[in-house]
Structure 1
């Protein structure tokens, strides 16, 4: 196959948070990189847009905590390079029934690591937050200082700008339709729907909800990654209580280990409103979404009314926003070489299951390591192997009840 266009060390497909971080890290290490995006840069059709994401190190799985700690440092390094803020620090507050196995694992992980934490009963929680949180009698709270709000669209733009400053080439409206091996020269060819072609020694694929479709098309492999449409809800804080919920006043990001699993951020992006959402959604085809809002369960309304002691209007959200998850059966990431005829020339990263954004910087670092060195230090990638689903369709076996449901895959 003859090719006379520009050649690159690495082609990164997908310019969400993971691809943008990978392009930044690769460029930082002297690689000649092109970052391709199928839509406009900073679009709102995937999983890396919006006003806020949380960052926390409180996980039932201990392998994520260290990743978040490293990622927190990398967020700060990138901020210092660009000169503006995308990471607003505030504590993280987890809560749930005393006997919830996931929450128990979170607490044990904090105690066994270097992550300072305070375990509070319901009375101590009320005192700590001046009544803004009121837990049921059989619940406990966990307060940690490594938490905060990330600004997603601004953050993606930051990493793209830093990659550009370090020599990366950025191309949007480049829908990739094929990846082929170059058996004569080595490396890969990447073709797009508008007739463009790129040649690279290596390729990184980070296309979120479109991962299953493209990988099946180019390799025949059916990845167990299910796109979900999820809805973000903003609720009005009642008059006279707005100051209590401000991020600037130290109100925490939070997560509730009950059914359903609820999470949220302080009042930050919209004055007088607080983000409270449910982890999950309904199956969708990313190219044919209905855009219908996720139905809100009755338990969410009662949770808001009770936990926030009537200080947040629980009758209905003020407005909602759409996003997508890329869900694996076990809720863990997929970070691995594609293998087969592509060997180690193509690296895939997907299935971030609604909790990966905070770890974008460390995932970018890992992807750069895999491309440049063939291995990555500091992160145990055995949990993220693609092959784990061949050994067990449900993936990694966990000792606690899953906070996510199992989803059948849509036809590719």
Structure 2
């Protein structure tokens, strides 16, 4: 959907920069509140340049950090509402096993977030899910609410419903400048737009957008290897669609932050990745020197040999994705310290997709000057603000 050469309308109630999953939900909530909203995207849609593409993301109730655990019930309900509005399925319930050392504090925090739930030992886990193997001293926590979000379908759905509520989505328009004021002016490669409120959800490009506004955020774009591994016996319960999602909290033979999803994108290929990446320029994410080492792939191969014996230990497909991390891997959801009608949503650190419906609602509420429906104190810019404004 290429943008016309001249804007059809110059003034809106709200402008959102960045049509990934977070910005699209922020725009959706504004449009549902009958605000005339413009959603701007620098790339032609659909695209795979940011952090919201691909077919699958994990959603779960188990969270070691309380603020996210408190937000998840709201998120599940809002995903269900979008499914009803869009008339399409966006979620497959598979359950999730959290693997970790017995007595691990993070594992216990996840257990607390779920309420009364069971720990599975190695024998019980092997009986229920033959494809997963634990080692002595390790246990698994079961989250029956968890599953797979269909990411591409979800992004299309929220954008479609946004437009149905009267919103305007203009892609292929890169933002060139933001002029603050009681009525802000956003200049793009195709025109100028004005609104009394602005939400910036530009992912890895957020830092560059807010720097001219006197705000220097510690956002680090990371290049992530997204790996798919072939089932030794395609379609078996040990590795196929009946398997749960999983995540690790630090095992005897594996680090923190490995996660996996059942075969979905590619038949017979299971997605297993490491929640870790290499610093990158988002404009050059897909460039790497020929033959460059990929330590995360080596690490994952070792993990699969030890914990997922039903998979071949060499990846069949390796793709790339972007994370944009904060130093503490917690989100930024806050007003600009100097310009209160500029709202920033950033630093989703590879775990934001599942929470996008709630994030969008909070950004909407902040932009309207309302009391947020969840505390945004953990996500304040002030926790690492060093700029002189």
2:384 maps to 389
Alignment of 1:284-363 (within 5 A): 284-292=280-288, 294-296=294-296, 298-308=298-308, 310-314=309-313, 316-340=314-338, 342=339, 344-363=340-359
Give the aligned partner of residue 262 of structure 1.
258
Find out whether 1:242 has 2:239 as its counterpart. no
Match of 2:4 in 1: none
Task: Point out where structure 1 has 5 or more consecutive residues left out of the alignment.
Answer: 392-412
Q: 1:174 to 1:297 in 2, by over 3 A?
A: closer
- Distance in 1, matches of 2:263 and 2:346, equals 30
Rounded to whole Å, the distance in 1 between the matches of 2:18 and 2:59 is 22
What is the Cα deviation at residue 265 of structure 1?
0.4
Measured in 1, the distance between the counterparts of 2:233 and 2:270 equals: 13
**Structural mapping, 1:365-404, within 5 Å:** 365-377=361-373, 379-390=374-385
- Residue in 1 that maps onto 2:14: 10
Q: What TM-score do you get using the length of structure 2 for normalisation?
A: 0.91
- Shift of residue 195 of structure 1? 4.5
TM-superposed CA distance for 1:165, in Å, is: 0.3
Cα distance between partner residues in 1 of 2:307 and 2:378: 35
Alignment match, 1:64: 68
CA distance in 1, matches of 2:50, 2:21: 10
Q: Aligned pair 1:280/2:276, yes or no? A: yes
Give the superposition deviation at 1:303: 1.6
Counterpart of 2:147 in structure 1 is: 148
Matches of 2:45 and 2:299, distance apart in 1: 37
Distance 1:262 1:215 in 2: 32
Alpha-carbon shift at residue 213 of structure 1 (Å): 0.9
Distance 1:235 1:385 in 2: 39
Which consecutive unaligned segments of at least 5 residues does structure 2 have? 1-6
For residues 367 and 206 of structure 2, what CA distance do their matches in structure 1 show? 19
Q: Using the TM superposition, give the Cα deviation of residue 390 of structure 1 relative to its aligned residue in structure 2, in angstroms.
A: 3.4
Distance 1:303 1:289, change over 3 A: closer
Instruction: State the 1:290 CA deviation.
Output: 4.9
User: In the alignment, what sits opposite 1:125?
Assistant: 125
> Structure 2 vs 1, CA of residues 62 and 313 (structure 1 numbering), >3 Å: closer, same or farther?
same
RMSD: 1.8
Question: How many residues are matched?
Answer: 372
CA distance in structure 2 between the partners assigned to 1:353 and 1:388 by the alignment: 16
Residue 59 (structure 2) pairs with residue 55 (structure 1): yes
Q: 1:38 aligns with which of 37, 42, 50?
A: 42
Distance in 1 (CA, whole Å) between partners of 2:299 and 2:49 is 29
Kept in 1, the 8 Å contact 2:324–2:346? The answer is yes
User: Structure 2 CA distance, aligned partners of 1:9 and 1:199?
Assistant: 8
Corresponding position of 2:24? 20
Q: Can you list the C-alpha shifts for 1:109-157, whole angstroms capped at 9, x where unaligned?
A: 333xxxx52211112211222x221100110100011111111121111
Note the 1:78-117 alignment, pairs <5 A. 78-111=82-115, 116-117=116-117
User: Distance in 2 between the 1:242 and 1:291 partners?
Assistant: 36
- Give the SS at the match of 1:26: helix
Matched residue, 1:409: none
User: What displacement does 1:17 show?
Assistant: 0.1
Distance 1:243 1:108 in 2: 29
